[in-house]
Amino acid sequence: MLRVAVPNKGSLSEAATEILAEAGYRQRRTTKDLSLTDPDNGVEFYYLRPRDIAVYVGEGTLDVGISGRDLVLDSHAAAETILELGFGGSTFRFAGRPGVARSVKDLEGKRIATSFAGILSDHLAENGVKASVVKLDGAVESAVQLGVADVIADVVETGTTLRQAGLEVFGDPILKSEAVLIKRHAVTLQPNGLEQLVRRLEGVLVARNYVMMDYDIRAEAVEAANAVAPGLESPTVSPLHREGWVAVRVMVPRAEAQRIMDQLWEIGGRAILTTDIHACRI
């Protein structure tokens, strides 16, 4: 059986369970369950802290897992990304009281609080900056007000928490993160069921990110229309009963659907419809 680690709590937990359920796997009913077997798909799911998932997968105790890119890098575990999952997006950034520093270079000798000591230490070393790292478990934003640190390095999503603490980001983002599916470094033998898991998750991502677009157009305008909406491989073009007209079916990125509809209309597309893709294998 393929053994898969899934975040049990925190920001990634609900979305991870959701994407696996959408990919057709059984998922736990209550947040108290520690593991769950899906015999029909030959998979066992283990619900663990996302920070620990990199360790289990890196050690080879579990085959694959879902975690955050930042947590994986921070752990220095021997794990690598197989697939980016498009949720749990965040940036890892420096923040402090307004004017305290402008870049990492200003942090020599300062005290920096973080719950990602691995990433922070690596970043300081890369920039040749010596500072003291204050490792905290959470609520890092309070560290400056409470006097335990001069600045912080923390996960920023909307920026609300920083604002509430009277802090501002400074310097370049240290890291951009999102949820990722990981496996152990350098395993050549693919465990049974992994290829199926990846293909199913890719299918969910495509179904989420693309819509199906149908429209009618005069045959001589098809080339111009294909330039606007080329599809993943090539659009399907079928003859219409009406002389000189064809029906076109093509996948387009969901985020660009309205712009593409406007452009197709301009070059003569009519009866332009979009429909959601429920599931797919590409």
Ligand X SMILES: O=P(O)(O)OC[C@H]1O[C@H](OP(=O)(O)OP(=O)(O)O)[C@H](O)[C@@H]1O
Ligand Y SMILES: Nc1ncnc2c1ncn2[C@@H]1O[C@H](COP(=O)(O)OP(=O)(O)OP(=O)(O)O)[C@@H](O)[C@H]1O
State the Cα–Cα distance between residues 54 and 64, nearest whole angstrom: 9
Query: Which of the choices ligand Y, ligand X, Mg ion, none does residue 159 contact, using the CB cut-off of 5 to 8 A by kind?
Result: ligand X
**Within positions 161 to 190, which residues make up the interface with ligand X, using CB under 6 A?**
161
β-sheet bridge partners, residue 247: 216, 238
Task: Indicate the residue among 134 and 277 with the shorter CB distance to ligand Y.
Answer: 134
Query: Which of the choices Mg ion, ligand X, ligand Y, none does residue 160 contact, using the CB cut-off of 5 to 8 A by kind?
Result: ligand X
**Within positions 225 to 264, which residues make up the interface with ligand X, using CB under 6 A?**
none
Q: Which two tokens stand for residue 44?
A: 């066992």
Question: Contact with ligand Y (CB under 6 A): which of 22, 38, 44, 70?
Answer: 70
Question: Contact with ligand Y (CB under 6 A): which of 68, 118, 203, 235?
Answer: 68
Contact track, ligand X, 128-147, x by CB under 6 A: ----------xxxx------
Question: Contact with ligand Y (CB under 6 A): which of 3, 20, 50, 201?
Answer: 50
SS3 246: strand
In terms of Cβ atoms closer than 10 Å to its own Cβ (0-12, 13-18, 19+), residue 19 is buried
**Within positions 88 to 147, which residues make up the interface with Mg ion, using CB under 5 A?**
138
Residues in contact with 114: Cβ distance below 8 Å, sequence separation at least 6, in sequence order: 120, 133, 134, 135, 136, 140, 152, 153, 154
**Within positions 152 to 171, which residues make up the interface with ligand Y, using CB under 6 A?**
155, 157
Torsion over CA: 192, 198, 204, 206 (sign): negative
Q: Give, for 239, the enclosing helix (H) or strand (E).
A: strand 236-239
Task: Indicate the residue among 112 and 229 with the shorter CB distance to ligand X.
Answer: 112
Beta strands 43-48 and 35-38 are antiparallel
Query: Which amino acid is residue 10, in one-letter code?
Result: G
Residues binding ligand Y (CB under 6 A): 7, 9-12, 50-51, 68, 70-71, 88, 90, 138, 155, 157, 177
